[in-house]
Amino acid sequence: MERDAQSEDDLRKDDDALLKRIETERDKMYGIAYAYMRNESDALEAVQETVCRVWMKRRSIREPRYFATWMIRILINVCMDERKKRKRELPSPDANLDRLVASDRTLERLGMAEQLAKLPPRYRMVVVLKYYRDMTVMEIAELLEKPDGTIRTWLHKALKLLRLEMELGKEGAGHERVAEEGWGRR
């Protein structure tokens, strides 16, 4: 326990300890950034910006034991700032096409990409954090600075919407197949 307290204090002073700690959170950071940005290069850029901010403000962390939460909160703020900035800028059509192609490849690996993309942002974030980043409801609540009841409600509503979407998708696919193959025609 004494060693943990010492290593937590080291994050403020020891550059190597800080870099090791950032490295252990790398995959989680990328996953969260990708969930917000929906694009590999933008997610990587957000992670890089976050690491720079963490490095610059490392001595200002109040509770070193909450380092990961503090860093993820910075990451979310970076992502939100970038999304706000994007809304003000209109990218060229070519940039949109490149983004769609890159994000489609990565999203396909996640399995339920289409359904997740249809969810409202707060529901999508909770699902990604819970099921793709293996965070607990309490961790998500702390990270997003919301009551755990709110996170549970969002998660419940998100799963309900996903189930509904999947049921509609299956029914729709079935009806399309019937129409394509001409079933029911005499």
User: Residue 70: CB partners within 8 Å, gap ≥ 6?
Assistant: 54, 61, 63
Among 66, 88, 110, give the residue marking a domain's end: 110
Q: Do 161 and 127 share a domain, yes or no?
A: yes
How far apart CA 81 and CA 181 sit, in angstroms, is 49
What integer pLDDT is reported at residue 171 of this predicted model? Answer: 55
pLDDT tens across 12-68, in order? 777 888 889 999 999 999 988 988 888 888 899 999 999 999 988 888 888 888 888
Which stretch of 43-47, 84-88, 148-152 has the lowest confidence by average pLDDT? 84-88
Q: Residue 8: pLDDT band by 50, 70, 90 thresholds?
A: low
Q: Do 61 and 126 share a domain, yes or no?
A: no
- The residue with tokens 């990961």 is 68
Please, what is the angle between helix 137-144 and helix 67-88, to 10°?
Answer: 60
Whichever domain contains 128, its CATH number is 1.10.10.10
Highest mean pLDDT among 70-79, 89-98, 163-172: 70-79
Q: Do 27 and 94 share a domain, yes or no?
A: yes
How far apart CA 40 and CA 91 sit, in angstroms, is 17
Q: Do 117 and 184 share a domain, yes or no?
A: yes
Average pLDDT over residues 105-112: 52
Q: Do 137 and 56 share a domain, yes or no?
A: no
This prediction's pTM: 0.54
Domain that holds residue 94: 1-110
pLDDT tens across 133-146, in order? 778 888 888 888 89
Q: Do 106 and 180 share a domain, yes or no?
A: no
- pLDDT of 7 > 70? The answer is no
How far apart CA 56 and CA 123 sit, in angstroms, is 32
Among 85, 110, 135, give the residue marking a domain's end: 110
Q: Do 18 and 98 share a domain, yes or no?
A: yes
164: how many CB neighbours lie within 10 A of its CB? 11
- What total of structural domains would you count in the chain? 2
Q: What is the mean pLDDT of the chain?
A: 75
